[in-house]
Amino acid sequence: MRYVFAVVAAVAGIWIMVGCRSSSSKAATFCDTACLTDTLKFEGEHVLNPSVYITAANCGPESIIRSHDAMGASLKTAFGFEGIKINKDFIRCIFNDTSSVCLLFNDCVTGRGFQIKLPFSKTGNISKRSSGINSFDPKFAVAEDMIAYTDRGNIYVEQVRSGKKAMMTFGKALDIDYDAIHEFIDSVNVTSQRIWVKVKVDNEWKELEKKIALE
């Protein structure tokens, strides 16, 4: 009988160790990757009630629909970034009245920042970036009315409603993997007067700062 109990205890111990290893080895995600099934809606504060809808399909975002009361019909655009997972708590819109809207979000798997700028007209340009520096990341602080992004050699900032911009260089091009951005850009702080970045250049962490005048 003692032998049977010993075998049972040994087997239980093995299962506990396997379970612990399995739990600890599971990669952490940036945000909850639960299946997206509901349409997400965002509304601006303009009197013409601009709005943006993100529709879902196959557990992810499918299309972006935008409109306002003075438009004859809504405009629909394919979401365009395949294979990413979004979460309603890690996505927001900055409306520029009824002119355009900037959609900011992070991939819940990698934490990578994305930005999509969409006009409320058929003739305006659509711009999409996969190198966004968004404030959903707790180490990135960007003023509420601004966006920031990088091209691996510089950081660019823009005040959405005015369209005014500024930039700061890192001094050289960096081989940044945007899916693991913190390996090169540790933290960022952006206001309308200042850009501050802690960035790894030549394998050394440096703090760069620049006072800016948006133009």
Instruction: Give me the pLDDT at residue 17, please.
Output: 42
Instruction: Give me the pLDDT at residue 27, please.
Output: 61
pLDDT digits (tens, 9 = 90+) for 107-164: 999 999 999 999 999 999 999 999 999 999 999 999 999 999 999 999 999 999 999 9
pLDDT (mean) for 65-82: 95
% pLDDT > 90, the chain: 85
Burial of 165 (0-12, 13-18, 19+ CB in 10 A): middle
% pLDDT > 70, the chain: 87
Dig out the tokens for 104 from the structure: 């900011």
Instruction: Give me the pLDDT at residue 109, please.
Output: 95
Of 171, 179, 180, nearest to 207 by C-alpha is 171
More confident call, 28 vs 96: 96
Instruction: Give me the pLDDT at residue 28, please.
Output: 80
Residue 33 φ/ψ, nearest 5 degrees:
-100, 25
Q: Which residues contact 101 (CB under 8 A, 6 or more apart)?
A: 42, 44, 50, 52, 66, 93, 94, 95, 117, 118, 120
Q: Give me the chain's average pLDDT, please.
A: 90
More confident call, 24 vs 69: 69
Instruction: Give me the pLDDT at residue 11, please.
Output: 39
pLDDT digits (tens, 9 = 90+) for 90-112: 999 999 999 999 999 999 999 99
Q: Would you say the pTM of this structure is higher than 0.75?
A: yes
